[in-house]
Amino acid sequence: MSDHNDTKNAPLMLSVSGCRGVIGRSITPEVASRFASAFVGALREDEGLGGGRLRIVFGRDGRAHSEALRMGAIAGLLASGCDVIDLDVAPTPTVGVMTEHHDAHAGVVLTASHNPAEWNGLKCLMRAPDGGRCAAPDAQRAGRIVRRFKDGRTAYAGHEGQGERSADDTGAHVHVARALKAVERIAPVESIRAAKLRVVVDCVNASGARGARLLLDALGCVADMLHADDTGLFPHPPEPLRENLGDLCDRVRATNAHAGFAQDTDADRLALVDEHGAYIGEEYTLALCAASVLGASADAGGATLCTNLSTSRMVEDVAALHGARVVRTPVGEANVVEAMLREGSPLGGEGNGGVIWPDVAMIRDSLGSMALTLALMARTGKPLSQLAAGVPAYVIEKRKVSIEGLDAAKACAAVAGAFPDARVDTQDGVRIDTGEGDTAAWLHVRASNTEPILRLIGEARTSERARALLDQAAVVIR
């Protein structure tokens, strides 16, 4: 029998991504309430929002067995003097869109993203200090939230300061309307509708199904919604990786669909399957969306795209074709957003299938990614396989190493020392760039923000070269 008070193998992860843990062990309704209240305290004191009523938009990724945590988190917000606009099941980007739509102060999402069903957590979204765009908090703002939580500094209010809850079920409609307005500038919606594209979407029985169906219907697609019930029971591990998407690939082939899309639980990531039922993957999502945006722009040559150190160099290749450039950041959505705001980027994101399209949201967004991909297909008249083949091919290999017993900083320093002739970037762990042209390859080693592991990522022209980099790093680390 497992000890549900033992968090050794189920630690509460606290990071720029909020809090995340295993239900009944490291995350409980009481923990959710305290974390939500600590967030409100940070908004009031650190963000200078004072002691009046705050408006918070709340949503959840729909995973089963989350009702108690949902009630705990909402109770923490209400008890801290917030009026809560409850979207119920809603993707993370929809919560961000609705936070702006309601001119709310912040958003909170109950989600563990790609983690397995027994995990859950809270993700915080914040407006800019001037009441501008809603996005994930940067490292400093997130750090203040975490410190307040660790110090036990809640913001619970007295009798007359309690908040009120209201429901809003229009989130998907508002989000899709914004996506349709934005994609019109990339390719006329009528041209997408005229293409009569057949699309299969694997929604992993989570939050993305409603918005995906509305979007695809509006774009004139024949939508085959796979794993799109409201049970919240995952039909396979929820991370949209090749090994988890056999059903989607089979369905695309069986129905002669033009494309397959795979969302994660909070629908901020998107993986692609081509018309042959072949898994293209997550890394191509950002590259193809970049091609969609830059190809539709008359002044793409002055554009700057932003992505993190762990993302494929494909995005540089696409940007170069249009005379644009790429700025690299530490891993973490907030770091990419910070660079995008600084650079005025028309697009950014991460190689995990998380595309940030400011015209829709300053948050990774699978709906915007679907719209951009379909617009590119309609504008070029090319199938998804041909569009993917037009991007220079690389192979990314990934590995995880348990962090138990390791000093992550020392491990990264050791890896840097093992490549004395390489170009080294230490913004986030260590990234090693070696070789030029066809021999070019890179390795990134960093501590995860969401799991107790070191992530090892290598990219090269061949899988053998990429794996050799990971092998070399693993030997040095151990």
For residue 179, give every residue at least 6 positions away whose Cβ sits within 8 Å of its Cβ, in sequence order, or none: 215, 360, 367, 368, 371
For residue 282, give every residue at least 6 positions away whose Cβ sits within 8 Å of its Cβ, in sequence order, or none: 240, 241, 269, 270, 271, 272, 351, 352, 353
- Residue 299 confidence (pLDDT): 86
Mean pLDDT of the chain: 94
- Residue 5 confidence (pLDDT): 40
Nearest to 361, CA basis, from 143, 174, 227: 174
Task: Please check the confidence at residue 229 and state whether its pLDDT lies above 90.
Answer: yes
- Residue 450 confidence (pLDDT): 65
User: Which residues make beta-bridge pairs with 27?
Assistant: 23
Start-to-end Cα distance in the chain: 32
Residues 73-116 have pLDDT tens digits of 999 999 999 999 999 999 999 999 999 999 999 999 999 999 99
Residues 296-316 have pLDDT tens digits of 998 888 999 999 999 999 999
Task: Please check the confidence at residue 214 and state whether its pLDDT lies above 80.
Answer: yes
- Residue 55 confidence (pLDDT): 97
* Catalytic choice (15, 26, 37, 113): 113
User: Which residues make beta-bridge pairs with 84?
Assistant: 56, 165
Task: Please check the confidence at residue 1 and state whether its pLDDT lies above 50.
Answer: no
Mean pLDDT score, 44-71? 93
Could you tell me the pLDDT band of residue 4, with boundaries at 50, 70 and 90?
A: very low
Q: Taking CA 94 as the corner, what is the angle to CA 336 and CA 367, rounded to the nearest 5 degrees?
A: 75
Q: Taking CA 170 as the corner, what is the angle to CA 167 and CA 176, rounded to the nearest 5 degrees?
A: 150
Task: Please check the confidence at residue 428 and state whether its pLDDT lies above 90.
Answer: yes
- Residue 453 confidence (pLDDT): 87
**How far is Cα 18 from Cα 39, in angstroms, rounded to an integer?**
10
Does 191 qualify as catalytic in the annotation? Answer: no
Residues 262-284 have pLDDT tens digits of 999 999 999 999 999 999 989 99
Neighbours of 204 (CB within 10 A): 32
Angle between helices 92-101 and 366-380 (to 10 degrees): 100
Task: Please check the confidence at residue 469 and state whether its pLDDT lies above 50.
Answer: yes
3-state secondary structure the chain: CCCCCCCCCCCCEEECCEEEEEECCCECHHHHHHHHHHHHHHHHHHCCCCCCCEEEEEEECCCCCCHHHHHHHHHHHHHCCEEEEEEEECCHHHHHHHHHHCCCCEEEEECCCCCCCCEEEEEEEEECCCCCCEECCCHHHHHHHHHHHHCCCCCCCCHHHCCCEEECCCHHHHHHHHHHHHHCCCCCHHHHHHHCCEEEEECCCCCCHHHHHHHHHHCCCEEEEECCCCCCCCCCCCCCCHHHCHHHHHHHHHHCCCEEEEECCCCCCEEEECCCCCEEECHHHHHHHHHHHHHCCCCHHHCEEEEECCCCCHHHHHHHHCCCEEEEECCCHHHHHHHHHHHCCCCEEECCCEEECCCCCCCCCHHHHHHHHHHHHHHHCCCHHHHHHCCCCCEEEEEEEECCCCCHHHHHHHHHHCCCCCEEECCCCEEEEECCHHHCEEEEEEECCCCCEEEEEEEECCHHHHHHHHHHHHHHHC
Task: Please check the confidence at residue 6 and state whether its pLDDT lies above 50.
Answer: no
Task: Please check the confidence at residue 3 and state whether its pLDDT lies above 50.
Answer: no
Residues 156-168 have pLDDT tens digits of 999 999 999 999 9
Q: Are 313 and 274 in contact (CB under 8 A)?
A: no
Residues 14-30 have pLDDT tens digits of 988 899 999 999 999 99
Mean pLDDT score, 405-423? 90
Task: Please check the confidence at residue 128 and state whether its pLDDT lies above 90.
Answer: no
- Residue 451 confidence (pLDDT): 73
Domains observed in the chain: 13-169 (3.40.120.10), 174-389 (3.40.120.10), 395-477 (3.30.310.50)
Q: Are 157 and 82 in contact (CB under 8 A)?
A: no
**How far is Cα 292 from Cα 270, in angstroms, rounded to an integer?**
15
Task: Please check the confidence at residue 145 and state whether its pLDDT lies above 50.
Answer: yes
Mean pLDDT score, 56-70? 97
Mean pLDDT score, 376-386? 98
Q: What residue has token string 């099941």?
A: 89
Percent of the chain residues past pLDDT 70, beyond the cut: 98
Cross-sheet strand order for the sheet of 441-447: 395-402, 453-460, 441-447, 430-434, 423-425
Could you tell me the pLDDT band of residue 210, with boundaries at 50, 70 and 90?
A: very high
Task: Please check the confidence at residue 35 and state whether its pLDDT lies above 70.
Answer: yes
